[in-house]
């Protein structure tokens, strides 16, 4: 029997790692810019007390802040990517920690800007906006002005800035505990080989055909989480408390409304999502029963919901093959889109491809105004869903690429609400392409199964997560205790509701709420669900009309408008339940098609 191990960072070929030289050719270059930031940011103090004197003076301050922001973006991106590549690298961790510490001081120094702008009388503020000196800043200034009721005095803003890293420290604790300290041991895969169980390989084990392997992986994985359950519950409780603290400090009615305010998203969209999904759970339960029958299981468990229901289908796809499949699916978007992306993924080394020891789990896209839109993957050839992950992250990266090419720096940054549209749009096109390019009955069933699981994971599952966040924060706001048992109680009720009466729920699954990284960035996950719904609508539009103009316009818009308005301009009205319901209807349709093929 062979024994597989997770390679060290130094054992990964350079060609498979991202090329960070567009940021810095060496660590020394980062140190030089770090010293520059240390010396230059204090220059902002020369503007203190003067922002209401003239439009030209305010413009100079904003341009100074922009220069510092650009420098911080580059420093932060390099530091973060180095730690993501190997979070056990002491030098990388030191750079990130020193930058975090410096950013507290930078935040303190710049904290007077927003309060001073808010203090400008309304009439004078409108006169300022009409001045040509502020022509490039009208959009961000109007967005800032919305926050007037939630902006504190300069002294209070300074205190919040000083305490930010301390109040949010639980997130770092969670990351280090789950990505570095926690060890899950080894496990025999379906071929009898010893493989290391990690945060990244867990998904691979759950896709093994042997149900005994899936069961063992699940229980072994959660045993480690159980060993640390009280620490994890404490970290999550402090995260919720921090959200409530900041919401109350800034005079928001609730933490949820504070989180939704920045995007100008009404809570009705959040509630519409939950109520619409809850009204369509029967199709989900029907799918679970189909899965149980096809896999010939006496009862279905959570660890049985990721393995494909279709056997004898090739799912070992190399990196280059995955890139080409993604490129072919995106041809409706034009050659500028596909040529740029292909170069970045194959030759430009935008992507860090494979897992190594200490590497952050999961995947992400991280681009700035002046750098390549980097992608982190933990690509595994035997995990077919990783092709979709690649398409997903590529959507984020090309969103950044188009936005920065069309917008000023201060307007290019798009909110997460829109980001999840661009990423899941690519997944929808990938599915349509794969379904149309195969006549193989088993492969077609395999792809249908994949899209069903994608909608289940993105719409149903993320909505359940959104309910958990809503309930956990409501408990804290009502003065209830946030403990391990209370978290498990909230989560167990949701598991019962979302998996149905015929689903076998293991008690360990109650601990899942302690291992979801997005819960440390609360009221984020609902955007996956709304993003998929908007993406399905936009992809349908592109495929039916053969015209990607409105969609590419959406990508180029960046953050120049609020997201609901941006989507409405692109042809999707998220203020109604219709896009969510249409995606749920697609789910039900795909389940029926799969039942016909293999049920």
With CA atoms as reference, report the closest residue to 330 among 387, 274, 272: 387
* Token pair of 367 as six digits: 């681009």
Mark whether 63 is an active-site residue: no
> How far is residue 261's CA from residue 239's CA, in Å, rounded to a whole number?
19
Non-local CB neighbours of 297 within 8 Å, separated by 6+ positions? 211, 304
Judge contact between 64 and 43, C-beta under 8 A: yes
CB-count burial class (<10 Å; 0-12, 13-18, 19+) for 440: exposed
Distances (CA, A) of 87 to 104, 129, 421: 22, 45, 30
Distance of CA 47 to the CA centre of its chain: 36
Contact (Cβ atoms closer than 8 angstroms) between residue 588 and residue 448: no
Q: Which residue has the tokens 């993501």?
A: 84
CB 410 within 8 Å of CB 137: yes
Per residue in 334-373, is it b (16+ CB within 10 Å) or e — as a string? eeebbebbbebbbebbbbbbbbbbbbbbbbebbbbbebbb
Q: How far apart are the first and last CA of the chain?
A: 36
CB atoms within 10 A of CB 119: 14
Give CA–CA dist 37/517, Å, rounded.
Answer: 30
Tokens 């799969």, residue? 594
User: 125-155: b or e for each residue (b if 16 or more CB lie within 10 Å)?
Assistant: beebeeeeebebbeebbebebeeeebbbebe
Distance of CA 158 to the CA centre of its chain: 29
* CA-to-CA separations, 272 to 404, 460, 532, 583, in angstroms, rounded: 32, 13, 15, 14
Of 116, 157, 393, 510, the active-site residue reads 393
Residues with a known catalytic role: 393
């Amino acid at each position: 029997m062979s024994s597989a191990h997770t390679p060290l960072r130094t054992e990964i070929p350079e060609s498979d790692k991202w090329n960070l030289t567009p940021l810095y050719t060496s660590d020394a270059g980062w140190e030089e810019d770090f010293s520059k930031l240390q010396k230059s940011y204090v220059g902002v103090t020369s503007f203190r007390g003067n922002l209401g004197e003239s439009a030209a003076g305010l413009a100079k301050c904003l341009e100074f802040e922009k220069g510092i922001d650009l420098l911080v973006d580059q420093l932060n991106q390099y530091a973060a990517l180095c730690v993501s590549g190997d979070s056990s690298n002491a030098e990388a961790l030191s750079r990130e920690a020193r930058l975090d510490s410096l950013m507290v001081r930078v935040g303190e120094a710049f904290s007077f800007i927003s309060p001073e702008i808010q203090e400008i009388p309304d009439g004078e503020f409108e006169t300022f906006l009409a001045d040509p000196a502020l022509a490039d800043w009208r959009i961000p200034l109007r967005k800032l002005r919305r926050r007037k009721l939630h902006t504190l005095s300069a002294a209070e803003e300074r205190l919040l800035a000083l305490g930010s890293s301390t109040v949010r420290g639980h997130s770092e604790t969670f990351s280090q505990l789950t990505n570095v300290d926690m060890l899950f041991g080894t496990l025999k895969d379906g071929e009898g080989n010893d493989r290391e169980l990690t945060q990244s390989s867990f998904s691979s084990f759950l896709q093994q055909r042997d149900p005994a392997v899936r069961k063992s992986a699940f229980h072994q994985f959660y045993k480690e989480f159980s060993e640390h359950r009280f620490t994890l519950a404490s970290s999550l409780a402090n995260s919720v408390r921090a959200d409530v603290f900041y919401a109350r400090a800034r005079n928001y009615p609730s933490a949820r409304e504070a989180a939704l305010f920045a995007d100008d998203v009404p809570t009705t969209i959040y509630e519409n999502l939950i109520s619409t999904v809850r009204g369509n759970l029967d199709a989900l339960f029907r799918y679970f029963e189909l899965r149980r029958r096809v896999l010939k299981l006496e009862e279905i468990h959570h660890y049985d919901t990721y393995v494909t229901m279709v056997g004898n289908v090739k799912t070992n796809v190399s990196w280059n093959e995955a890139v080409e499949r993604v490129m072919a699916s995106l041809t409706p978007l034009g050659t500028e889109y596909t040529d740029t992306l292909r170069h970045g993924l194959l030759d430009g080394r935008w992507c860090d491809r494979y897992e190594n020891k200490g590497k952050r789990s999961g995947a992400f896209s991280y681009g700035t105004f002046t750098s390549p839109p980097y992608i982190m993957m933990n690509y595994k050839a035997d995990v077919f869903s990783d092709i979709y992950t690649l398409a997903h992250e590529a959507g984020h990266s090309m969103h950044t690429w188009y936005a920065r090419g069309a917008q000023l720096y201060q307007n290019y940054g798009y909110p997460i609400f829109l980001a999840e549209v661009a990423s899941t749009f690519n997944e929808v096109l990938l599915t349509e392409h794969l379904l149309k390019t195969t006549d193989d009955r088993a492969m077609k069933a395999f792809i249908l199964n994949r899209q069903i699981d994608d909608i289940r994971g993105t719409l149903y599952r993320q909505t359940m997560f959104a309910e958990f966040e809503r309930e956990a924060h409501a408990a804290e706001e009502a003065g209830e205790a946030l403990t391990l048992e209370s978290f498990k109680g909230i989560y167990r009720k949701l598991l019962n509701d979302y998996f149905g009466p015929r689903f076998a729920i293991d008690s360990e699954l109650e601990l899942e709420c302690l291992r979801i990284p997005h819960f440390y960035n609360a009221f984020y996950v609902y955007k996956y669900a709304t993003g998929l719904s908007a993406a399905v609508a936009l992809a349908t539009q592109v495929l039916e009309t053969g015209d990607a103009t409105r969609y590419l316009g959406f990508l180029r818009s960046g953050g120049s408008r609020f997201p609901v308005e941006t989507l409405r301009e692109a042809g999707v009205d998220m203020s109604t339940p219709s896009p969510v319901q249409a995606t749920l209807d697609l789910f039900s349709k795909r389940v029926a098609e799969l039942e016909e093929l293999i049920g």
